[in-house]
């Protein structure tokens, strides 16, 4: 593994025990975070407040979502709630994305664009992904919703995707690695006959929409970036019923779809790493 000297203690600053521990990993050639990825207590509280609004948005969607509803109606709920709480939907206008949330139904893995023609049907599974900016702080989460009663295979996919998130959370310990998360998720998905999307991943978040590290949901233990207290990031495994391979809709340039057009499911939280493990900032 190529060594990167990310962790640098400024001149005149006394080394802390955490400095010494991180430098010991860096000296062995592991990828460590830069100091600017470590959030201050004030920044963490700002992200937490943004997370409260983001959770409220998804709670509202959970109350209102139903068969016969359009994805554009979901988007309006998200926009109105977010604005009413003094915040901004981060996706609206982000690199040209036209709506306030992503709505991804059945074979759509992620980045589905809400519209007036997409009507939820009995048996659909849908991921609603919201990111909120409040006072300059970003919080990101998504949930799966089952419309009415779906097939046993789809229900299992939704359930296992949530279990993958929970197992990934358990694998994320202070001074563990991103690869530990991915390895645990991949094992559980494969054990249940499902695959893990490789072309998309979780990410650092908080002061920007997307920051380091890239949180992949497959791979080997003790690979990827070292996870240390103060880092804020998402875990958001995308679990497919068939192949892990995906493609992007050429017409809108956003919608990610499974290559075999079999269903996909995803759950996501934003976390801060503490000295004792992960603290959830969004639900």
Residues 6+ apart with CB under 8 A from 77: 57, 60, 61, 64
- Give the number of domains in the chain: 1
- Is residue 198, in this structure, part of any structural domain at all? yes
CA pair distance 261, 107, nearest whole angstrom: 5
Is-contact 135 205, C-beta < 8 A? no
- Is residue 153, in this structure, part of any structural domain at all? yes
- Res. 13 pLDDT band, cuts 50 70 90: confident
The answer, yes or no, to whether residue 271 has pLDDT greater than 90, is: yes
The answer, yes or no, to whether residue 227 has pLDDT greater than 80, is: yes
The answer, yes or no, to whether residue 160 has pLDDT greater than 80, is: yes
- Res. 9 pLDDT band, cuts 50 70 90: confident
Return the CATH number at 59.
Answer: 3.90.230.10
Q: What is the pLDDT of residue 1?
A: 38
Mean pLDDT, all residues of the chain: 96
- Is residue 141, in this structure, part of any structural domain at all? yes
Q: What is the pTM of this model?
A: 0.96
- Is residue 138, in this structure, part of any structural domain at all? yes
- Across the beta sheet with 277-280, the strand order is 211-215, 202-204, 232-235, 269-274, 277-280
Q: List, for residues 175-210, the tens digit of each pLDDT value.
A: 999 999 999 999 999 999 999 999 999 999 999 999
The answer, yes or no, to whether residue 4 has pLDDT greater than 80, is: no
Q: Give the structural domain span for 71.
A: 38-280
Query: In this structure, is the dihedral angle defined by the CA atoms of residues 45, 80, 67 and 98, taken in order, positive or negative?
Result: negative
- Is residue 225, in this structure, part of any structural domain at all? yes
> Rounded mean pLDDT of 44-50?
98
The answer, yes or no, to whether residue 22 has pLDDT greater than 80, is: yes
The answer, yes or no, to whether residue 47 has pLDDT greater than 60, is: yes
């Amino acid at each position: 593994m190529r060594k990167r000297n990310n962790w640098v203690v400024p001149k005149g600053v006394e080394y802390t025990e955490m400095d010494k521990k991180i430098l010991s990993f860096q000296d062995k050639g592991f990828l460590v975070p830069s100091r600017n990825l470590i959030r201050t207590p004030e920044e963490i509280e700002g992200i937490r407040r943004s997370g409260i609004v983001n959770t409220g948005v998804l709670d509202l969607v959970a109350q209102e979502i139903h068969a016969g509803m359009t994805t554009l109606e979901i988007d309006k709920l998200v926009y109105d709630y977010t604005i009413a709480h003094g915040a901004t939907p981060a996706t609206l206008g982000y690199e040209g994305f036209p709506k306030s949330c992503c709505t991804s139904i059945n074979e759509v893995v992620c980045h589905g664009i809400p519209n007036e023609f997409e009507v939820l049907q009995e048996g659909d599974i849908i991921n609603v992904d919201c990111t909120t900016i409040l006072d300059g702080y970003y919080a990101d989460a998504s949930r799966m919703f089952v419309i009415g009663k779906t097939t046993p295979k789809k229900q299992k996919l939704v359930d296992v995707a949530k279990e993958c998130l929970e197992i990934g959370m358990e694998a994320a310990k202070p001074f563990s690695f991103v690869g530990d998360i991915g390895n645990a998720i991949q094992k559980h998905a494969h054990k249940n006959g499902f695959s893990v999307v490789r072309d998309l991943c979780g990410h650092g978040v908080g002061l920007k929409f997307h920051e380091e590290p890239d949180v992949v949901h497959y791979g080997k233990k003790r690979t990827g970036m070292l996870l240390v207290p103060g880092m804020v990031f998402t875990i958001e495994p995308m679990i497919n019923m068939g192949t892990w391979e995906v493609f992007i809709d050429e017409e809108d340039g956003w919608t990610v779809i499974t290559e075999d057009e079999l269903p996909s499911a995803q759950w996501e939280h934003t976390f801060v790493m503490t000295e004792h493990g992960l603290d959830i900032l969004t639900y």
